[in-house]
Amino acid sequence: MKTITKFFVAAVALFGVAIAANAKSPKNTDNNVSSSTEHDVEVYGSNYTDGDKFDGLTRKVGFDRMIPPHALEVCFEKTTHIIFPSEVVYVDLGNENLVAGLADGAKNVLRVKSAFKSFKQETNLSVITDDGSYYTFNVKFAKEPLLLSIEMTDFLHDGESVNRPNNAQEIYLEKLGQESPVLVKLIMKSIYKQNKREIKHIGSKRFGVQFLLKSIYTNNGLLYFHTELKNTTNIAFDIDYVSFKIVDKKVIKRTAMQEQVLEPLRAQNYVTVVHGKSSERTVFALEKFTIPDDKQLVIEVAEKEGGRHQSFVVDNEDIVRANVIDHEEDSFNLRCGGAFPVRRGGIRPAESPRNVGGRGTRQYGKRFLYRQLPQLRL
C-alpha cells in the first residue's frame, strides 16, 4: 500500500512540473514573437506582415540578399534622363503613375516622368541592360527634382564600392547562351589589354592602311577575334562597317556566290574613325562556328565614302586553333591552343571576287613579308 502511495505522489509531482513548463514556454515564445515583430515593424513600417501570413514554413529574405535601390525623383513638368553604360533591354514600371521610354536614337538613355501632376504613393522602377546589369529605383514625386540627368556606372566593381551584394547574380541574355555578359566583357577587356599577337600571317595592306588579325580566342561557346587597323597616311580612315562573311572558296563562272553573314554579339573599343598616323584595335565576340573545306571566312572593313577597303581570309584550320582562356581568381590567362603556321607569302590577302588574281596584291604580299618581317625567311 505504501509503495502504491509513493508511486502516485511521484506521478502527481511530475505532472505538475510538466504543466508549469508548458505554461512558461508559451509566455517566452510570445515575448520573442512580440519583440521580433516590433523590431520588424520599426524597420519595414506599419504595413509589415511577418512570415506567419504565408502557408507552410517560410523564411524571410534577409538584407544580405537584397539589391539596394537608388532614389529617384520625378515631376510632371520636367523629364528625368538616366544614362546607362549599355543598351536598355528591359524596363518595368511599378504602377501607372510613371511613364518611361528610350530616347530617340540613344538606346542607353531612359526618359522618366510623372504621368500626373502629382501622386503621393511611392513606386519603383526596374531596368536590365544589355551587359547583364540590373538596376532598381524607388521613385517618388517631387515638385522640383534635385537631379534631372543621372549617369549610372556599370557594376564591374566590388560589392562594397557600389553598395551591391557580392553574391548578386548576373543577368544572362539569350543571345549569349550560357555565358554571363559581365564575363564576356571582362574577357574582351583582358584580350584588349594584353594585346598579344598570336597570328602573324593573316592581314592585308593597301593604300597605306593595314588591317590585321592578331589572335583568336574561344571560351564557353563564343569566339573572340582581335583585330587591328593601322593608318599610316595623313588622311583619316572613317569606318563604314566591319563584316564577317562565310563565302565559297571557288566560284564557277555564271554561278552566284553564296555567303553567310555573321553578326558580332559584342565589340570592345569599336571605333568609327582611325586618324592619320595612328592605329586602333577592336575585339569582336561571335557565336562559335566552324567552316567547311570549300568555304572560308572573310573579314572586311569598309571606308565610308572612300575606296581604301581592307579584307582578309580566315580558314577553318585557323579557327580550330583558337587560343583557350583560363579562369583563375577573377583573372584570365590567354593560353595558346596551337601554333599557327606561317604561310608562304607572309600576309595573306582576301581571295574575294574583288581581288582574286590581283597581281598587285599577290606581289605586295611577298614584299610585305621581307620588308616588315625579315625574321621569317622562306
- CATH number for 66-171: choose from 2.60.40.1550, 1.25.10.10, 3.40.50.720, 3.20.20.150: 2.60.40.1550
Cell triple for 264? 558580332
3-state secondary structure 182-207: HHHHHHHHHHHHHCCCCCCCEEEEEC
Domain boundaries, the chain: 66-171, 181-372
Residues 181-372, CATH architecture: Sandwich (2.60)
- What 3 state SS string does 42-108 have? HHHCCCCCCHHHCCCCCCCCCHHHCCCCEEEEECCCCCEEEECCCCEEEEEECCCCEEEEEECCEEE
The pLDDT value recorded for residue 133 is 83
The pLDDT of residue 47: 57
- In 10 A of CB 195, how many CB atoms? 11
- Walk along the chain (378 residues) and give the pLDDT tens digit of each residue: 555 565 555 665 655 555 555 544 444 444 444 455 565 555 555 655 554 566 667 777 777 788 889 999 999 999 999 988 888 999 999 999 999 999 888 888 899 999 999 999 999 999 998 877 889 999 999 999 988 988 887 544 444 444 444 444 555 566 776 677 778 888 999 999 999 999 999 999 999 999 999 999 999 889 999 999 999 999 999 999 999 999 988 766 656 667 899 999 888 998 999 999 999 999 999 999 989 888 999 999 999 999 999 999 999 999 999 998 876 544 556 655 444 444 433 444 444 434 433 333 333 333 333 333 333 332
Q: Are 212 and 228 in contact (CB under 8 A)?
A: yes
pLDDT at residue 58, rounded to an integer: 74
Please give the pLDDT value at position 284.
94
pTM above 0.75, yes or no: no
Q: Are 66-171 and 181-372 the same fold in CATH?
A: yes
